Amino acid sequence: MPLIAAGTTVLGQQVCRPGWVDVSGPRIVDCGPGLPPRPPDVDLPDAVLVPGFVDMHVHGGGGASYSGPDIVRAAEFHRRHGTTTTLASLLTASPGDLLTSVRALAEATRAGTVAGIHLEGPWLSAQHCGAHDPRQCRDPQPAEIDALLAAGGGAIRMVTLAPERPGGDDAITRFADAGVVVAVGHTDASYEQTRHAVALGATVGTHLFNAMRPLHHREPGPVLALLQDARVTVELIADGVHVHPAVLHAVIEAAGPERVALVTDATAAAGRGDGSFRLGTLDVDVVSGVARVRGTSTIAGSTATMDQLFRTVAAEAGLGAAVQMTSTTPARALGLGEVGLLRAGLYANLVVLDRDLEVTAVMAGGQWLG
């Protein structure tokens, strides 16, 4: 039953200097600001202790993809960077390939490797498909939705779709009724269509600004509709590539950290350096850490990790806000009530950071990771 003391501990949005967390088995049994109630088992006077990161949009990392056979390797790569809760994202694919990937990730969810599945497509706008294969983008059909939900067996937690596609209204309702979080993304929806999607039950904006109709003063499109609605959590890829730092700042100011979820949108290329990779059916080249579809300027996911995003936002908005956007907000958006905070009764998912906010140790479910 380790009692961990740290020079800085973030409890909720309170930055405690010092603070402590008491762990028994897989859960936190107590925590608090100041000196611990007894001599600590682990004393980290120069460290920062934060909850494990929650990445609700990630395709892979360390050379492995969540749509391939190396699901465990991809998850372990991101755990080393502090992501203790992963929603594994699947790209647009043929109906058969998508079902196969969902079944594999449903098994990985039951094993605890990932926390569930994010279907990013295939019901996306061909005009804003990004690094998705436009030949596989299609309208949502009840039969396909039902087959995927059955194959997932409760593991599908979020779906990204373009609500303007024929059948979009029924798809939003069908997924929401099944307890699946619906996200608006890869979309050419108008402002009014996006507001309608939210009224039907959509609660997330997938990587805001990227792969959606841009904001215009006479046609505000999905961006403004998503930002204006307090029911909506907006994803941001804060890697310095997908959105300008000034835009990051403006969104945090407009929506607040409680409505912004930082996501990596990382692919198998994360952690592998520059080179050539495959993303679904497409060839991708990584140059200076930026992934693009071969022969185009289209960004193809990212090579980021959550600790990198944490450092960026901590410098911008402070430790409390960084914890909110990398842990608490995404956990709440997904309905994951047992992670995302350092609080008694929740899972003991912890990240130990040094003075430069680099990861030095990770605990998941009360176990230190090797």
Catalytic residues: 265
Distance CA 78, CA 309 (A): 13
Q: Is 242 annotated as a binding residue?
A: yes
Q: Is 211 annotated as a binding residue?
A: yes
Q: Is 131 annotated as a binding residue?
A: yes
Contact of 180 with 333, CB cutoff 8 Å: no
**Sign of the Cα pseudo-torsion (106, 95, 184, 206, in order):** positive
Burial of 274-313, coded b for 16+ CB within 10 Å and e otherwise, reads eeebebbebebbbeeebbbbeeeeebbbbbbbbbbbbbbb
Q: Is 120 annotated as a binding residue?
A: yes
Q: Is 301 annotated as a binding residue?
A: yes
Closest CA relative to residue 112, chosen from 150, 64, 158, 71? 71
Output Rg (C-alpha) for the chain, integer angstroms: 20
Q: Is 273 annotated as a binding residue?
A: no
Q: Is 218 exposed, middle or buried (0-12, 13-18, 19+ CB in 10 A)?
A: exposed
Q: Is 300 annotated as a binding residue?
A: yes
Beta bridge pairs of residue 51: 350
* CA 305 to mean position of chain CA atoms: 11
What are the two backbone dihedrals, phi and then psi, of residue 285, each rounded to the nearest 5 degrees?
-115, 130
Q: Is 207 annotated as a binding residue?
A: yes
At 160, the amino acid letter reads T
Q: Is 186 annotated as a binding residue?
A: yes
Instruction: List, as residue ranges, the binding site for substrate.
Output: 131, 210-211, 218, 242, 299-301
List, as residue ranges, the binding site for Zn(2+).
120, 186, 207
Annotated binding site: 120, 131, 186, 207, 210-211, 218, 242, 299-301
